[in-house]
Amino acid sequence: MQKLRLAKDSGGKKSHKNYLLSCRMFCGECGSVFERRLNRKTGRVVWVFQRHDERAADCPIDRIAELEIYEAFVRIYNKLWQNAKVVLKPALKQLANLSEAMLRDNPAMLEINKAIADMAEQEYKFNKLQAVGLLNGDACIAKTRSINVKLLELRAKRRQLLENEEIEDLSEMLRQTNKELAMGPENLTEFDENIFNTLVKKITVEANNRLKFRLYGGIELPEEI
């Protein structure tokens, strides 16, 4: 797998309509935000940074076809799903260890962390049972809703004890990413807007043939196009 790091609809005119990639794509060279362009004759959609036509000589990054971006995400998703155990779990463990080191002598925090882990495990089991048809959908929703309420309460208490809320924010986003992958398809064969929305925070166009997807939680994944 490639190296990972934790870490408008118009015919040439600007459009103020929001699209899936709006405010998500940035030029890695000049930092400009990309916007959508549609060729009305061919129907081809591309993304290009603002004012590229006027400043093309100032930046080597050219237009990127929307279809290529979507295809790159499908490949990223499949790589991440297959390697979640060696990517997400270690990252979560590192954050948990950091948090624990900061609060090692705080028994209240240790108790809250244990309760959160138990609740999260219950939610995962209920979702798996529902996914394979062993638990009624309404029953699963009721149970997971109850668990989520308790999780919110526990995490709010933990926030009050944490000196560094950024650690908790990153951990929560990584947990959500891990959850979305666990419930998603093993092999994504075509672009899925909902999955994209839940996973991708930002896309940096590093070169005309290379994108970098930044997921919620800070993980960055490069992909050739």
What are the residues whose beta carbons fall under 8 Å from the beta carbon of 217, sequence distance 6 or more?
91, 170, 173, 174, 176, 177
Domain membership of residue 30 (yes or no) is yes
173-189 pLDDT, tens per residue?
777 777 777 778 888 99
Domain membership of residue 11 (yes or no) is no
Mean pLDDT of 123-137: 70
Q: How deeply is 93 buried, as exposed, middle or buried, from its count of CB atoms within 10 A (0-12, 13-18, 19+)?
A: exposed
- Binned at pLDDT 50, 70 and 90, residue 137 comes out as low
Residues 193 and 121 grouped into a single domain: no
In angstroms and rounded to an integer, the radius of gyration of the C-alpha atoms of the chain is 21
- Flag whether pLDDT at 143 surpasses 70: yes
Pairing assessment for the beta strands 200-207 and 25-27 based on DSSP bridges: parallel
- Flag whether pLDDT at 112 surpasses 90: no
Residues 75 and 107 grouped into a single domain: no
Q: What is the pLDDT of residue 88?
A: 67
Judge whether 221 and 181 are in contact, CB under 8 Å.
Answer: no
Compare 120 and 89 and report the one with higher pLDDT.
Answer: 120
- Flag whether pLDDT at 167 surpasses 50: yes
Residues 174 and 209 grouped into a single domain: no
The SS3 call for residue 105 is: coil
What are the residues whose beta carbons fall under 8 Å from the beta carbon of 153, sequence distance 6 or more?
none
Q: What is the pLDDT of residue 12?
A: 43
Residues 90 and 72 grouped into a single domain: no
Q: What is the pLDDT of residue 127?
A: 72
Domain membership of residue 18 (yes or no) is no
Q: Which structural domain range is residue 156 located in?
A: 84-183
Distance, in Å, from the CA atom of 85 to the CA atom of 80, rounded to the nearest integer, reads 9
- Binned at pLDDT 50, 70 and 90, residue 223 comes out as very high
- Among candidate residues 74, 62, 66, 76, the one with its CA nearest the CA of residue 209: 62
Distance, in Å, from the CA atom of 75 to the CA atom of 49, rounded to the nearest integer, reads 24
Residues 177 and 194 grouped into a single domain: no
The total domain count for the chain is 2
Residues 65 and 131 grouped into a single domain: no
Judge whether 175 and 120 are in contact, CB under 8 Å.
Answer: yes
Residues 136 and 171 grouped into a single domain: yes
- This model's pTM is above 0.85: no
Long-range contact list for 169-174, CB < 8 A, 24+ apart? 170/95, 170/217, 170/218, 171/92, 171/95, 171/96, 171/99, 173/216, 173/217, 173/218, 174/88, 174/91, 174/92, 174/95, 174/216, 174/217, 174/218, 174/219
Domain membership of residue 212 (yes or no) is yes
Question: How long a stretch of residues is the chain?
Answer: 225
6-46 pLDDT, tens per residue?
443 444 444 446 899 999 999 888 888 899 999 888 989 99
Compare 169 and 44 and report the one with higher pLDDT.
Answer: 44
Place of tokens 């155990």: 85
Residues 68 and 102 grouped into a single domain: no
- Binned at pLDDT 50, 70 and 90, residue 4 comes out as very low
Domain membership of residue 10 (yes or no) is no
Residues 158 and 195 grouped into a single domain: no
Residues 166 and 113 grouped into a single domain: yes
Q: What is the pLDDT of residue 11?
A: 42
End-to-end CA distance of the chain: 15
Domain membership of residue 142 (yes or no) is yes
- Flag whether pLDDT at 144 surpasses 60: yes
Distance, in Å, from the CA atom of 194 to the CA atom of 196, rounded to the nearest integer, reads 5
Domain membership of residue 56 (yes or no) is yes
Mean pLDDT of 169-175: 70
Residues 151 and 117 grouped into a single domain: yes
Domain membership of residue 9 (yes or no) is no
Residues 33 and 60 grouped into a single domain: yes
Distance, in Å, from the CA atom of 155 to the CA atom of 134, rounded to the nearest integer, reads 29
